[in-house]
Structures are given as C-alpha cells and as structure tokens.
Amino acid sequence: MFHRFTTSFTAKRFVLIIASILFAISGLALPGLSGVHPAYANNGIVVWNTNDTGSGSLRQAISLALGYTGATTISFSVNGTITLGSSLVINSTSSNPITIDATGYSVVIDGNYSVVPFNIQLGAVVTLNGLTITHGNTSTIGGGVLNGGTLTITNSVLSYNSAAFDGGGIGNSYLLTLSGDFLNGNSTGTGGSGGAILNEYGGVLTMNSCVLYNNTAGNGAAINDYRATTTINDSTFHNNHATR
C-alpha cells in the first residue's frame, strides 16, 4: 500500500509540474501554486514589483526585451514608485522595438535626484505610455529622458527633472514625438536652455496636445530648438520662466 501511495503522489506531482510549465509559457499564473511568477510570454513582459533590479523588475523586463526579435510590450501588474540607482538604458533596434505601457496602473519612474531615468540610444525604437518620470538629474543634458533614437512618449508626465546644462525634462537629438503629455516643473542651471525640452543638432520634435507648465531655464524657458526642427500642434504653454 505504501508503494502505491508513493507512485500516486509522484504522478500527481509530475502532472502539477508540467501544468505549471504550460501555464508559465502561456503567461498565466497557476492557481494555488506559490512562487510561480511568469516573466514573459510571446514578447509580452509583465513587471510585477517596484524593485530597481531583479526578477519581476522593470530593469529586468527591459533586459529581456533587448534579447527578443520583433516588437515587445512591457506592461505592469503593480502600482507604485520605481526608484532608480542608475539609468534605464535602451539600445534596441528597429527590428525589436520596445513599448513600455503603464495603462491601468499608476507607475512612477524616479531618478532619485541623481540619475537620468531613461537613456534611449541611437537606433533604438521606443514608446513610453502612461508613465510619470520624475526627479531625474544630470550634470549635462536631458534630466528626465536623454533621447538619441526614435522615441514616442504618450499620456505621460515629466515633472521636476533637472539638467545642469540644457533640457531639464528631455534632451533630444534624433526623433521625438510627444502626444498628450504634461511637462511640469523641469529646470536647467542658470546658464542652461530648454527648461522642459532641448531639441538639438538635427533633432526632429513633434508635439501634439501637450501642456508645458512652470518650467525654468536660463533661456528657452520651455523649449530650446538649436539647429533642429520642431512642430507644435494644439499645445499649451503657461507660466514658464527664463531667468536671462
């Protein structure tokens, strides 16, 4: 009898393990089984904690996405603030564009007054949707986001980011599209320009239905366009300040 019980238990355990694997591959959690947190499925990755690093973090999700071929969407199953110890660097290519989509959740990416939250490198194709990007800081340009790729930011907030030189909120030198965004309280040093955005050296900025409020710079209180192209549609500028 004891032998039969052992065999039955082993068979049930085997079925449970196989079921767990199948559920993980499909991106579902198996009810009643602790410790199973599927990281990804079919180029869709879910961030399920607010840790800066490690399993289930946004940083790990970006690392996984960079290894894929084809488009990847990173979504969230958690609300909260992700406080960064270093920039989130995205160096994908046009063959593996990455979307980070916080739809349905309140997700804050916090640079902790010490790092640039997003560094989008040359050749990368990235979309950021529904995020709040705040407290970024740099001694150069682009306090909240530094973009050298093809970047679209939609329905997001960039607030209280700062750069010692230019582009307190965003520094752009390639292709940047903003739609439905709120840029508030971003700043540069007294000698800097573009409190909210610096668009420079051949950069192309398209802005649709955005609000730029209370940004501050030495000059170009909201936007500084330097040897670049900027198109603005149906957007609001209010209470931005240049100190010289």
Q: Write the pLDDT tens digit of every residue in 17-52.
A: 344 433 333 333 333 333 334 344 458 999 999 999
Q: Is residue 172 part of a domain?
A: yes
Q: Is residue 230 part of a domain?
A: yes
Question: Does one domain contain both 90 and 154?
Answer: yes
Helix (H) or strand (E) holding 18: helix 2-25
Amino acid 240: pLDDT = 98
Amino acid 43: pLDDT = 81
Q: Is residue 63 part of a domain?
A: yes
Q: Is residue 195 part of a domain?
A: yes
Question: Does one domain contain both 26 and 68?
Answer: no
Q: Is residue 216 part of a domain?
A: yes
Domain count for the chain: 2
What does the pLDDT average to over 85-92?
A: 97
- Window from 6-20, 59-73, 91-105, 206-220 with minimum mean pLDDT: 6-20
Question: Does one domain contain both 18 and 73?
Answer: no
pTM of the model: 0.84
Amino acid 42: pLDDT = 56
| pLDDT above 90: residue 10 | no
Distance between CA atoms of residues 57 and 76, nearest Å: 10
pLDDT per residue over 170-211, tens digit each? 999 999 999 999 999 999 999 999 999 999 999 999 999 999
pLDDT per residue over 120-177, tens digit each? 999 999 999 999 999 999 999 999 999 999 999 999 999 999 999 999 999 999 999 9
Banded pLDDT at 3 (limits 50, 70, 90): very low
Question: Does one domain contain both 24 and 144?
Answer: no
Question: Does one domain contain both 24 and 121?
Answer: no
Q: Is residue 105 part of a domain?
A: yes
Question: Does one domain contain both 9 and 55?
Answer: no
Task: Count other Cβ atoms within 10 Å, centred on residue 20.
Answer: 16
Beta strand 40-41 with 44-47 is antiparallel
Distance between CA atoms of residues 142 and 170, nearest Å: 5
Q: Is residue 39 part of a domain?
A: no
Question: Does one domain contain both 139 and 214?
Answer: yes
Question: Does one domain contain both 61 and 23?
Answer: no
* Segments forming the whole domain that contains residue 10: 1-30
